[in-house]
Amino acid sequence: MSTFRAFEVTGSRQFKLVERELRTPLPGQVRLKVESCGICHTDVLAAEGLRADPSQPLVPGHEIVGVIDAVGEGVTTWQLGDRVGVGFLGGQCGQCDPCRRGDFVNCTDQPQMGTTVDGGYAEAAYARASGLVRIPEDLTSVAAAPLLCAGFTTFNALQSLDISPGSLVAVQGIGGLGHLGVQYASKLGYRVAAIARGSGKAALAKQLGADHYIDSLAEDPGAALQALGGAAAIIATATSGASMSPLATGLALHGHLVVVGVAADPISVNTPDLIFGQRTLTGSLTGSAIENEDNLAFSAARGIQSMNEVMPLSDAPKAYEHMLSGDARFRVVLDMTA
């Protein structure tokens, strides 16, 4: 085959199915025959035209799993036939100041898959070798795709905290990120409180591993967490700053409110709630490729699974709209083999 199908987007939600020419990977790159690609809320940056030049066609998608079918010059650690993934961060340059200090996440010359470079709503994709993640044999491509971003985001946020097993950890929002965050927190040995609007997800939260369920419509989540002894950490996954604002009061001494859900509105926190008790408010952005391999290995070993709705590549625009509607339960994944 000399061409491949891909969905380009221009402007706001102007999707177009095109045939593109296959090319040889650039030095330091590989080419993937894409098997699956998750649909993530961050895809709005491409699909809604929230980028430098939305008139330029771009292929969205950054939860990509595929098989290497071409290797660029200088790539020595990956081979044809390797099944790999690539998430939102497309591979560090190794040359900038953050990279020289080992801070690969904040590399100043790192492509953002499906946002600054073409992503995975396609039959083929190109990625830096430094951004590749080896996929465990016991994870299918469809199962692995959402774990590369949605799963890794919550896993790495928890891994970055110095808190003892058995501590109370709250996960706010039982959606695409949160339903994975509850599983990770439980499997890492924490006592888990799930926070969501309404009582409709209480049974699911318990099934996923939550020890407590807090209905934020029926009670103040901060007060409810304090009644449980205070949270050593709260992972905020909802795409609403207003819903995150009441959470800081639920932190224990030295507790951490970690924001992983991207919201358009600000978070409001009373400064005494941070100062007295030495609490912190911070953000977390996935991690490096090797840390993502740790995430996949842990997920496979502990049975952590994303709840997915699977659709073919031809339905990519519909899949994106379904994700955006909030009706998906809980991740939408494109299956290129379907």
Q: What is the CATH number of the domain that holds 123?
A: 3.90.180.10
Q: What is the pLDDT of residue 48?
A: 97
| Domain shared by 117 and 158, yes or no | no
Query: 244, 262, 283: which is the final residue of a domain?
Result: 283
H/E run at residue 57:
none
| Domain shared by 34 and 122, yes or no | yes
- Do residues 88 and 42 lie in contact, with contact meaning Cβ atoms separated by under 8 Å? yes
Query: 283, 300, 327: which is the final residue of a domain?
Result: 283
Pairwise CA distance, residues 219 & 62, whole Å: 37
| Domain shared by 158 and 277, yes or no | yes
pLDDT for 136-189, tens place per residue?
Answer: 999 999 999 999 999 999 999 999 999 999 999 999 999 999 999 999 999 999
Q: What is the pLDDT of residue 99?
A: 98
Q: What is the pLDDT of residue 1?
A: 76
| Domain shared by 133 and 19, yes or no | yes
pLDDT for 15-67, tens place per residue?
Answer: 999 999 999 999 999 999 999 999 999 999 999 999 999 999 999 999 999 99
- Do residues 65 and 133 lie in contact, with contact meaning Cβ atoms separated by under 8 Å? no
* Number of folded domains that form the chain: 2
Query: 261, 283, 305: which is the final residue of a domain?
Result: 283
Pairwise CA distance, residues 236 & 171, whole Å: 6
Q: Give me the helices (H) in the chain, please.
A: 44-47, 97-100, 141-144, 150-159, 178-187, 202-208, 221-227, 241-244, 271-275, 289-302, 316-325
pLDDT for 189-209, tens place per residue?
Answer: 999 999 999 999 999 999 999
Domain that residue 16 falls in: 3-148+287-335
Is pLDDT of 128 > 90?
yes
Q: What is the pLDDT of residue 81?
A: 98
For residue 106, name the pLDDT band (cuts at 50, 70, 90): very high
Task: Read off the pLDDT of each residue in 299-317 and give the average, rounded to a whole number.
Answer: 98
| Domain shared by 16 and 140, yes or no | yes
| Domain shared by 43 and 143, yes or no | yes
Task: Read off the pLDDT of each residue in 217-225 and give the average, rounded to a whole number.
Answer: 98
- Do residues 17 and 314 lie in contact, with contact meaning Cβ atoms separated by under 8 Å? yes
| Domain shared by 204 and 254, yes or no | yes
Q: What percent of the chain has pLDDT over 90?
A: 99
Strands 191-196, 168-172: pairing is parallel
As given in the structure block, the two tokens for residue 223 are 């007060």
| Domain shared by 279 and 208, yes or no | yes
In the chain, the N- to C-terminal Cα span, in Å, equals 18
Q: What is the pLDDT of residue 181?
A: 98
